[in-house]
Amino acid sequence: MNKPSIEQRFAPLLQARQAQNLYRARPLALSAQQPSMQINGKQVINFSSNDYLGLANAPELKNALQQTLSQNLSVGSGAAHLVTGHSLEHHLLEDELADWLGVERVLLFSTGYMANLAVQQVLMQKGDLILGDKLNHASLIDGALQSDADFKRYAHNDMSALEKRLSKTQHADSATLIVSDGVFSMDGDLTKLPELQKLAKNNQAWLFLDDAHGFGALGKHGKGCFEYFDCQPDTNTILMGTLGKAFGVSGAFVAGSQTLIETLINFARPYIYTTAMSPMMAAAGREALRLVKQADARREHLNQLIQQFRIGASQLGLPLMDSPSAIQPIVLGDAATALAWSEQLKQQGFWVGAIRPPTVPHNTARLRITLSAAHTAEQVDSLLEALAACQHSHTLSR
């Protein structure tokens, strides 16, 4: 019997995805990351970026990179952090992030995905239990599945369901880790952090919060969900944040206690066995942190745009979700409808991606609209007008 080739095995799967309107292709950005962009050769206003503070193309970050050329910094780190790749710029960025967040230590990772894999693989052992929100990011799910612990999911933001799960975990020698996004990336809503933290403390569980979409944008000073809810992390709290969203650069970090960070340094395979991020990017990250600290006006403008969009969308009768964040999804149902709206928006000069299964549950395909402090009120008004046109076209076509 002949074994299948790659073509024989996967070509039918790709054809099936195309037939189901679930095929994915990479759009080609031909300009800098900013509201006005050229994508796939078309000039559009971009409402699909996670650049929440509009820093990705900030001249201060470009200048910071230019200055590294005269600072004896290499482009590549050349090795893993535990070999010769841990530069002074990495070290200073970790210290400055820790000071900003008020935690004992911070550890840099190349991506948030790697950080989420590392935390759960290392901390959770056989006999332990991970309890994750049903709508957690894929990296959190994968991290849980790749650990040796049991993994159970609770209904999205359902604290009663979580409490029931916790009540069945009273084993003296086992640990329980509650895992949640801070801002859920496809819905834009927030975890119920005060209740989550209370349940963790009452049940002696550890809490792991992925605040990738919160850091920089949420809270009075941009410190994320803990600041937004006026809560304080304790020694059994693990925080993960990324530098590639509101910070406008790249990379990620885990924040927490001294013991947590030393444990990750010594046992986390996604940390130990990979080359460190570029020292030049770490220097840019330090400048990005400085800008985030000074971005009160940007955050205020972003919040005004969020309110403007939500009021306008509500007046149009568009199906908004309960999101106070820069992520404002419009759930349309089937994938074909979401693609049709997305394509019509592109023809009108707006780039808004259609999010389809398996990224979101079946029959919840949506437009994932993201707002940035770099957008103007006029651009948001124009988007609302374009959405109204889509709504009209969709109504006429039914």
Same domain, residue pair 113 and 129: yes
Annotated binding site: 24, 112-113, 137, 185, 213, 242, 359
pLDDT, averaged per 10 consecutive residues of the chain (398 residues), comes to 92 95 93 95 96 97 89 91 96 98 97 97 96 97 96 97 87 88 97 97 96 97 97 96 98 98 97 96 97 98 98 95 96 94 96 94 95 98 97 66
- Other C-beta atoms closer than 10 Å to the C-beta of 346 total 18
Q: Distances in Å between the alpha carbon of 34 and those of 60, 248, 353?
A: 15, 11, 16
Same domain, residue pair 94 and 229: yes
Indicate the residue among 293, 319, 346 that finishes a domain.
293
Catalytically active residues are: 185, 213, 245
DSSP state, residue 315: H
Inside any domain, residue 13 = no
Same domain, residue pair 262 and 146: yes
Annotated binding site for pyridoxal 5'-phosphate: 112-113, 185, 213, 242
Q: How far apart are CA 14 and CA 102, in angstroms?
A: 48
Same domain, residue pair 239 and 108: yes
Yes or no: say if 214 and 185 are a contact pair by the CB < 8 Å rule. no
Same domain, residue pair 173 and 249: yes
Same domain, residue pair 274 and 357: no
Residue 359 burial by CB count (10 A; 0-12/13-18/19+): exposed, middle or buried? middle
Same domain, residue pair 200 and 215: yes
Q: What pLDDT does residue 9 have?
A: 95
φ, ψ for residue 139, nearest 5 deg? -65, -35
Q: How far apart are CA 132 and CA 168, in angstroms?
A: 15
Indicate the residue among 271, 293, 315 that finishes a domain.
293
Domains identified in the chain, total number? 2
Q: What pLDDT does residue 172 have?
A: 65
Q: Which of 74, 52, 110, 62 is nearest to 287 (CA)?
A: 62
Indicate the residue among 256, 278, 293 that finishes a domain.
293
Query: What is the 3-state composition of the chain as percent helix, strand, coil, each rounded to the nearest 5?
Result: 45, 15, 40
Q: Distances in Å between the alpha carbon of 251 and those of 60, 210, 244, 310?
A: 18, 14, 6, 31
* Sign of the CA dihedral running 14, 18, 23, 25: positive
Q: What pLDDT does residue 70 have?
A: 80
Same domain, residue pair 183 and 305: no
Same domain, residue pair 105 and 132: yes
Range of the domain at 374: 28-53+296-397
Same domain, residue pair 251 and 149: yes
Cis peptide before 194 (omega within 30 of 0): no
pTM of the full predicted structure? 0.94
Q: What pLDDT does residue 173 have?
A: 79
